[in-house]
Amino acid sequence: MIKLSKMHQRVLALTAVLPIGAAIAQTTEPQLETVTVTAQRRAENIKDVPVSVTMLKDEKLDVLVSGGQDIRFLAGKVPSLNVESSNGRTFPRFYIRGYGNTDFSTFASQPVSLVYDDVVQENGILKGFPVFDVAGVEVLRGPQGTLFGRNTPAGVVKFESAKPNLDKVEGYYSVSRASHGTTSLEGAVNVPLSSEWAMRVSTLRQHRDDFVSNTYTGQTNALEGYNEHAERVQFLYQPSTTFNALFNVHSRTTDGSARLFRANLIKKGTNDFADGYDFDKINTNGLNFQNLSTNGANARLTWDLGSVKLFSITGYEGIDNYYTRGDIDGGTPTGPGFIPFQVQTGGGISDLKQYSQEFRVESKNAGPLNWQTGVYYFKESGTGYSNNFDSNTQAQTSHLASHQNNTAYALFGSATYDVSSELSVRGGLRYTHDQKDFRTVESTNVTQIGPKSVEESKSKVNWDLSSTYKLNKDVSAYARVATGFRAPSIAAASASVPITVADAETITSYEAGIKADLFNRRARASLSVFNYDIKNQQLTVVGGNSNVTKLINAAKTAGRGLEGEIEGFVTPDFKVSLSGSYNFTEIKDPNLYVAKCAQCTITDPIGANGLVSINGNPLPQAAKYIVNATARYNWPLAEGNLFVLTDWSYRSKINFFLYESKEFTGKEMIEGGLRVGYNWDGGKYEVAAFGRNITNTQRIIGGIDFNNLTGFVNEPRQLGLQFRGGF
């Protein structure tokens, strides 16, 4: 049973859909285009899919990335989605419906799967691949454990690149310049090579100047810059209407500042900035930088055999090099504030290779029954390491390297049956076997506690069952029950903590919703409610006043909430959208205690052993409320269109860690964007002035649970100009 008691008092923002809907009803034209998603591995109208799903594409997506943002731009931009990172532009961590994983270790797994061009990006470093020349981004909320291959109990974020075609030479280019010397160059070109072959080349170049000065070294404009470039080359081979092959090769290189940790950023006893805080200055004696190089390739083959379609998806992803180094204490022996001792660390991946293969068969029946079934194989091998340094001499003082092999395979099937023209029923099963072999391979000046190797394996059957009922041609309702599974995770040892293992976690989720096209398709709306229970949830403990990480399991975690979206035309030239979510999460384990922070003010019960009870706490980074609103007004002119577009997002307060404290709690945050532009020649060309975070909101968005009140902040305001053209 879904528990939503008193929820109506907590989601007043969502009720704004009523006046918006009334306003939309007053106009007669135009209509919204049909949104097609592949949430069930088939192309379907979003209204007919029994999953809570959001699609971002076209102008809405272009606006969000206009200031050179990395993949974290998705945070809070759709209902129930958060994205954050303590590594800056690398290693993003995703949360859906409050359910995610704050683990930053080399082989951390996440319950939100990121799928790029049908290939799962398993390691956290791979999840940060830039967003450019994409056809769309789908956010699938809730367990997707039947049809998707890796660790999906919370949901899936799915990217699909724009594909080559045989029609004609075409493409686009975009150049922008913004605050802090931020430049972004993006472009793509599609070239038919023959009647059977076509190529699409896409590229991205981003740069930001250093703009934060280091008062310790006296260097001005020393930190917070970056250089990013990524490429994608695709080849389409289509010799007939019954076979096509799509080949994809891609790479990414980035370098610049790592995340800037700021010592005693937080005022004691509050979650306010400490007195004297300056966004453009830092006082640190540690070296700060990071560099990353990744590459990958995939092949997607499709055979149309008449009554069935056969798909083969082969993927490879590799990390050639990753290294990040930062000042964990965030300051110097003289401050700012009290810093008991100095710690500077570095970590990286020297080599990682991931291979995956899926074969899938999909029926094409004209009758009421359709199905799909397949097999999946995944193999990953990688070596990661961590270093410590002397902050006075910058010399390395210790080194610990670990290697992990992860092999998994699965068998899956799903079927849909149309009981009548109004009612359809879907069900699916997936059997997964997952095995990890983990060992320490190098240890310099580290006396490891416990065994130097661990093996873990687990098998699990997941299932889902859903139904969709068409109330009429414009409105459908659905209900869904689904389970999910995440295999055991392993964290590397340190000088004071052995290799730790978190057992497999499972989830059972209940969801119901309604989706509708309104006012002759001048608007669309959706509303979903959900309730889930996680057993044995894997959690990450960062060691209080010692620089260690270990894994634990919580006996149970409960979550419930709702999500709503509406968009449409108020007039033919005025389009608006509003979306929001409410997420309640609670850890339920009266026997679970964790180490506390060194200098923060704990608000949870503290046991006789000095450990903190986290029973009843919300999950970390779980925002109770997320609200988004956009408005676009267009003035048709003789040769083109003048437009104004604004977008706003609200996220309620969040808890940084498993325990609750006055300091390590992020305040609520509102960010706004504005775009004023002119397009002409049927929209082929556009020039625009834009702003991201236009109110210059500054917030503490994360902390370091160590020896002082260290934290880090959100991205600065960006004001810039952009020109975009097509051919």
Q: How many CB atoms lie within 10 A of CB 189?
A: 17
| pLDDT value of residue 12 | 38
| Angle, alpha carbons 483-484-490 (nearest 5°) | 155
- How far, in Å, CA of 287 to CA of 617, rounded? 36
Q: Under DSSP, is residue 57 helix (H, G, I), strand (E, B) or coil?
A: coil
- How far, in Å, CA of 307 to CA of 285, rounded? 67
- How far, in Å, CA of 565 to CA of 186, rounded? 30
Q: Under DSSP, is residue 4 helix (H, G, I), strand (E, B) or coil?
A: coil
Low-confidence ranges of the chain (pLDDT < 70): 1-28, 543-548
Q: Which helix (H) or strand (E) holds 422?
A: none
Structure tokens at 318: 């590799």
Please provide residue 48's backbone torsions phi and psi, each rounded to the nearest 5 degrees. Answer: -95, 0
Contact 361/133 with Cβ under 8 angstroms?
Answer: no
Contact 214/284 with Cβ under 8 angstroms?
Answer: yes
Tokens 């809570």 -> residue: 52
Contact 403/368 with Cβ under 8 angstroms?
Answer: no
Classify 137 in phi/psi space as left (phi over 0), alpha (psi -120 to 50) or beta.
beta
Classify 483 in phi/psi space as left (phi over 0), alpha (psi -120 to 50) or beta.
beta
Please provide residue 22's backbone torsions phi and psi, each rounded to the nearest 5 degrees. Answer: -65, -40
β-bridge partners, 322: 292, 349
DSSP state of 215: T
Per residue in 358-410, pLDDT (tens digit) is 999 999 998 899 999 999 999 999 999 999 999 989 999 999 999 999 999 99
| pLDDT value of residue 137 | 95
- How far, in Å, CA of 174 to CA of 180, rounded? 19
- How far, in Å, CA of 705 to CA of 691, rounded? 33
Structure tokens at 83: 């994205």
Q: Residue 710's closest CA among 241, 227, 129, 260?
A: 260
Report DSSP letters for 433-446, one per residue. Answer: EEEEEEEEEEEES-
Could you tell me the sign of the dihedral formed by the alpha carbons of 333, 395, 709, 602, in that order? negative
- How far, in Å, CA of 718 to CA of 178, rounded? 6
| pLDDT value of residue 549 | 81
Q: Residue 647's closest CA among 632, 630, 628, 669?
A: 630
Structure tokens at 611: 């450990």
Q: Compute the CA torsion angle 593, 700, 122, 100 (nearest 10 deg).
A: 40
Please provide residue 21's backbone torsions phi and psi, each rounded to the nearest 5 degrees. Answer: -60, -40
Question: How do strand 369-389 and strand 574-588 relate by DSSP bridges?
Answer: unpaired
SS (H, E, C) 346-402: EEEEEEEEEEEEEEEEEECCCCCEEEEEEEEEEEEEEEEEEEEECCCCCCEEEEEEE
Contact 624/586 with Cβ under 8 angstroms?
Answer: no
Q: Residue 263's closest CA among 326, 214, 202, 335?
A: 335
Number of alpha carbons in the 13 Å side-chain half-sphere of residue 116: 24
Tokens 């009758």 -> residue: 367
Contact 8/561 with Cβ under 8 angstroms?
Answer: no
Q: How many CB atoms lie within 10 A of CB 366?
A: 6
| pLDDT value of residue 37 | 87
Go through the domains of the chain in sequence order and give each one's CATH number: 7-726 (2.40.170.20)
Q: Compute the CA torsion angle 37, 683, 197, 130 (nearest 10 deg).
A: -60
Non-local (6+) Cβ contacts of 75 within 8 A are 81, 82, 83, 84, 651
Contact 197/237 with Cβ under 8 angstroms?
Answer: yes
| pLDDT value of residue 176 | 96
- How far, in Å, CA of 591 to CA of 588, rounded? 9
| pLDDT value of residue 24 | 58
Q: Residue 71's closest CA among 79, 61, 59, 80?
A: 61
Contact 582/625 with Cβ under 8 angstroms?
Answer: yes
DSSP state of 712: E
Q: Under DSSP, is residue 176 helix (H, G, I), strand (E, B) or coil?
A: strand
Classify 166 in phi/psi space as left (phi over 0), alpha (psi -120 to 50) or beta.
alpha
Please provide residue 64's backbone torsions phi and psi, each rounded to the nearest 5 degrees. Answer: -65, -30
Rounded to two decimals, what is the model's pTM?
A: 0.94
